[in-house]
Amino acid sequence: QSALTQPASVSGSPGQSITISCTGASSDIYDYKASSDSYDYNYVSWYQQHPGKAPKLLIYEVNSRPSGVPDRFSGSKSGNTASLTISGLQAEDEADYYCTSCTRSGSALRFGGGTKLTVL
Amino acid sequence: QVQLVESGGGVVQPGKSLRLSCVASGFSFNIYAMHWVRQAPGKGLEWVALIWYDGRNEYYVDSVKGRFTISRDNSKNTLYLQMDSLRAEDTAVYYCARLTTAWSLDYWGQGTLVTVSS
């Protein structure tokens, strides 16, 4: 069972925007700060994987993009849920998308179950 | 450019052993932590193991603890995964990947397929 929960599938038409959520279900992947009623959940990354290919890093530290990743891809976080938004959908965006976060102890990486994006 | 090339996969019987290798090039291997991640056929990605840059610390997913050993030889720019007591459920494509300080995997190998079957 994944410590991070993602929808199994999402779909959209070319040119549209879609959002994929990633919800932390385990307390060891983020710190709850009672003083601010917030979650320290900053080491969230997102990956894109096309069939038969290795995953590719899209987003790190919640909302940063590696060099070469189009700005159509963006990340955000609210409470214990991180999100990946893809705007201006293109046919080549059809792929599987995974979120990850490290455990609070820094001794493991957790993957979400993955979301299959279909471009209609 | 950064390259990670895995090898060592194949078909193996349940209970047997296999060692995977991942040769790194194009970067200073000895200053990066490295991971193994696997993907069973038709399934999602699963983190398997992590080793710190100097090899001093290793961590594993519960399902492989006591059976798999991650190691590295920084003089050879090579990461290893020794897999013992293999089970059918270990059948997967195994990827090695480089860890950044932001806990993201910025470079991945092409993967090597391990099939555990009698």
Whether B21 and B80 have beta carbons less than 8 Å apart is answered as yes
- C-beta atoms of B59 and A107 within 8 A: yes
Q: For testing the chain A interface, which of B103, B106, B112 should be mutated: the one with the most A CBs within 10 Å?
A: B103
Q: Length of chain B in residues, anyone? A: 118
β partners of residue B94: B38, B112
Q: Given CB atoms, is A69 within the 8 Å cutoff of chain B?
A: no
CB A116 within 8 A of CB A11: no
Residue contact A100–B104, C-beta within 8 A: yes
For the beta carbon of residue B117, count every other beta carbon within 10 angstroms: 10
User: How do residues A89-120 score in pLDDT, each as one tens digit?
Assistant: 999 999 999 999 887 777 888 899 999 999 99
Asked whether the predicted pLDDT for residue A47 surpasses 80, the reply is yes
Whether residue B35 lies within 8 A of chain A, CB to CB, comes out as yes
How much is the average pLDDT of A76-101?
93
A54/B108 CB distance under 8 A: yes
C-beta of residue B6 within 8 angstroms of C-beta of residue B78:
no
Question: Across the A/B interface, how many CB contacts are shorter than 8 Å?
Answer: 65
- Cα-flanking dihedrals φ and ψ of residue B62, to 5°? -55, -35
pLDDT tens digits, B55-108: 999 999 999 999 999 999 999 999 999 999 999 999 999 999 999 888 899 999
Q: Is B20 on the interface with A (CB under 8 A)?
A: no
Q: For a pLDDT cut of 70, what percent of chain B falls above it? A: 100
Site from A5, A41, A57, A110 to mutate, B interface, most B CB atoms within 10 angstroms: A57
CA dist., res. B111 & res. B86, Å (int): 18
Helix (H, G, I), strand (E, B) or coil at B64: helix
**Which of A55, A108, A114 lies closest to B50 in CB terms?**
A108
Give the span between the Cα atoms of B15 and A109, in whole angstroms. Answer: 27
A56 touches chain B (CB under 8 A): yes
Tokens encoding A32: 């709850």
